[in-house]
Amino acid sequence: NAGVTQTPKFRILKIGQSMTLQCAQDMNHNYMYWYRQDPGMGLKLIYYSVGAGITDKGEVPNGYNVSRSTTEDFPLRLELAAPSQTSVYFCASRGLPGGPVGEQYFGPGTRLTVT
């Protein structure tokens, strides 16, 4: 199993450009999550999904969009990139039945710079 994979690893965008961060998991997990981590800060939840076709906003959803057409994939779309979106983005997944603990499995991250 590859676990949770993310592409690209690094990306530099100009202000106003758009891009899609890819996330895939091969563990047949129902739940998937997108986080961003700014320097010196914890991870903040952007969007999450409880299954194919179902998504919901997290703590910091503005400027992002998601879709979940399959169990495996959960892409994150930035439509009009802004410098405030410079961050490291992590995708995570959680399976059911996974018990009540709620542990999530994380991908390696995408480092995005918007200039």
x/- mask, another protein, residues 40-79, rule CB under 8 A, reads xxxxxx--x-x-------x---------------------
| Residue 105 binds another protein, judged by CB under 8 A | yes
The tally of CA atoms less than 13 A away on the side-chain side of residue 64 is 27
- Using CB under 8 A, which residues numbered 7 to 26 contact another protein? none
- The secondary structure of 55-89 as a DSSP string is EEE-S--TTEEE--SSSSB--EEESS--GGG-EEE
Which CB sits closer to another protein, 37 or 65? 37
* Residue 31 binds another protein (CB under 8 A): yes
The answer to whether residues 11 and 17 touch, using CB atoms and an 8 Å cutoff, is no
103 binds another protein (CB under 8 A): yes
Closest to another protein by CB, 1 or 14: 1
d(CA 55, CA 78): 16
